[in-house]
Amino acid sequence: MAGLGTSAALTAGVALLERAIGYTLGSLQLVRDDALDRPTPCADWDLGNLLRHLDTSLLVLAEAVDCGHIEPRSGSAGPQPVAAIRDRAGRLLGAWTARDRPLVRIGATDLPAGIVSGTGALEIAVHGWDVARACGHDRPVPPALAADLLELAELVVVDADRPDRFALPIRLAPAAGPGARLLAFLGRHPMEF
């Protein structure tokens, strides 16, 4: 799917979601219970907070496909956050592949479900990278997934999202690979932390 193009980047959400979940499940294998207070590339979060946020993201995406709308909420990964996230990720993917929901309401706006699931894939994959980095591992986002997510990110992350939801983009050498470009576009230092 590399080189999706604008239209496909906005509609390939469930396939991206499946790939992002697979990548992030691999990163979750690196988490140890004694590491939950470690810092992450997300400036104000330790690993425990990041896992709670990831759990909430999965919960919201499940609500999007189950109910057709998204409301602010928070998840509760509980005392076993990795197990809870793995379980929720599996159920989430099953829900998105089993339903044919064309639109999801966010606030007063109806968005194509492909945009919602694709944006969820972006969130899940990048936080999978954050988890690996917090655990002290360099686990790059797979190049083809990163290239597809970068195309989507360039369409859905706008200046108004910065600096609150994402930091300012980081400048990289032109020869940087798609994973590094994706992370840099979202304000992460792909070679640091």
Q: Is there a domain that residue 180 lies in?
A: no
| Full-model pTM | 0.89
Res 5 pLDDT > 70? no
Q: Is there a domain that residue 131 lies in?
A: yes
pLDDT at 3: 55
Residues 6+ apart with CB under 8 A from 116: 13, 61, 64, 70, 104, 106
Other Cβ atoms less than 10 A from the Cβ of 43: the count is 9
Q: Is there a domain that residue 13 lies in?
A: yes
Q: Which of 65-69, 75-79, 118-122 has the lowest mean pLDDT?
A: 75-79
Domain count, the chain: 1
pLDDT at 97: 85
Query: Could you report the per-residue pLDDT of 81-122, keeping only the tens digit for each?
Result: 999 999 999 999 988 888 888 889 988 889 888 889 999 999
User: How far apart (Å, rounded) are the C-alpha atoms in residues 55 and 78?
Assistant: 10
The larger pLDDT score, comparing residue 99 to residue 66, is at 66
The larger pLDDT score, comparing residue 27 to residue 2, is at 27
| Strand order from edge to edge, sheet including 69-70 | 69-70, 103-106, 109-112
Q: Is there a domain that residue 192 lies in?
A: no
Q: Which of 2-11, 77-86, 94-103, 162-171 has the lowest mean pLDDT?
A: 2-11
Share of the chain above pLDDT 90, in %: 58
**Residue indicated by tokens 């939801």:** 165
Q: Is there a domain that residue 31 lies in?
A: yes
Mean pLDDT along residues 36-59: 93
Residues 6+ apart with CB under 8 A from 105: 68, 69, 70, 111
Q: What pairing do the DSSP bridges indicate for beta strands 103-106 and 69-70?
A: parallel
Q: Is there a domain that residue 160 lies in?
A: no
Range of the domain at 48: 6-145
Alpha helices, DSSP H, located in the chain = 6-11, 13-28, 47-67, 81-98, 113-134, 143-156, 178-185
pLDDT at 75: 63
The DSSP symbol for 45 reads -
Q: Which of 5-9, 25-29, 151-155 has the lowest mean pLDDT?
A: 5-9
Mean pLDDT along residues 163-183: 91
Q: Is there a domain that residue 111 lies in?
A: yes
**Contact indicator for 124, 54 with CB cutoff of 8 Å:** yes
pLDDT at 108: 87
pLDDT at 9: 47
CATH code: domain of residue 129: 1.20.120.450
Q: Is there a domain that residue 122 lies in?
A: yes
Average pLDDT over all residues of the chain: 88
